[in-house]
Amino acid sequence: MRVILVEDIAQLGRMGDIVRVSDGYGRNYLIPQGLAMLATEQRSKEFEHKRAAIEHKRAKLHKEALDIVKVLDGLSVSITRSSNDDDKLHGSVTNRDIQEALQAEGHKIDRRKIVLANPIKELGIYKVDIKLASEVTTTVKVWVVNG
């Protein structure tokens, strides 16, 4: 199945690219989520005419991401969790918890932009990447403390 990407998607392509994906991935995830649209011959031609608008939107998102980086760069947030004597958490800290901590500080960040390979399961200080745009990433310090 060929689709036209409406947004940048990691490991797949950038906004406006026409890519080939499996039928299930396109039909069950990309299209219903509004991340892509089916690449028919007519839509491909229409999309070529809209490419300038897409480039303008991409540049605008890039500029907004750079503005957010200036605010978030060097920021640290604290998350309180209960732990046992070995500093292991009862539960874990996920990107949703980090999003809520950032929101409490007054920064609205989509949780899908918070790059966390595995949930945090121990007390400590962690550097967490936030990917705001295709080439714009910043790092936030997350302090996981005993509560």
CATH code of residue 106: 3.10.430.100
Does 24 reside within a domain? Answer: yes
Question: Pseudo-torsion of CA 64, 70, 74, 80, nearest 10°?
Answer: -40
Does 60 reside within a domain? Answer: no
Task: Check residue 69 and give its pLDDT.
Answer: 87
Give the number of other Cβ atoms within 10 Å of residue 96's Cβ.
12
Does 7 reside within a domain? Answer: yes
Does 58 reside within a domain? Answer: no
Q: Which residue positions in the chain have pLDDT lower than 50?
A: none
Does 22 reside within a domain? Answer: yes
Examine the domain organization and report whether 45 and 16 are in the same domain: yes
Instruction: Write out the residue range of the structural domain in which residue 32 sits.
Output: 2-49
Does 138 reside within a domain? Answer: yes
Does 14 reside within a domain? Answer: yes
Give the number of other Cβ atoms within 10 Å of residue 72's Cβ.
17
Examine the domain organization and report whether 86 and 121 are in the same domain: yes
Task: Check residue 125 and give its pLDDT.
Answer: 93
Task: Check residue 44 and give its pLDDT.
Answer: 79
45 HSE (CA, 13 A, CB side): 2
Task: Check residue 41 and give its pLDDT.
Answer: 84
Task: Check residue 26 and give its pLDDT.
Answer: 92
Q: Find out whether 74 and 93 touch, Cβ atoms under 8 Å.
A: no
What's the total number of domains in the chain? Answer: 2
Number of H helices, E strands in the chain: 4, 9
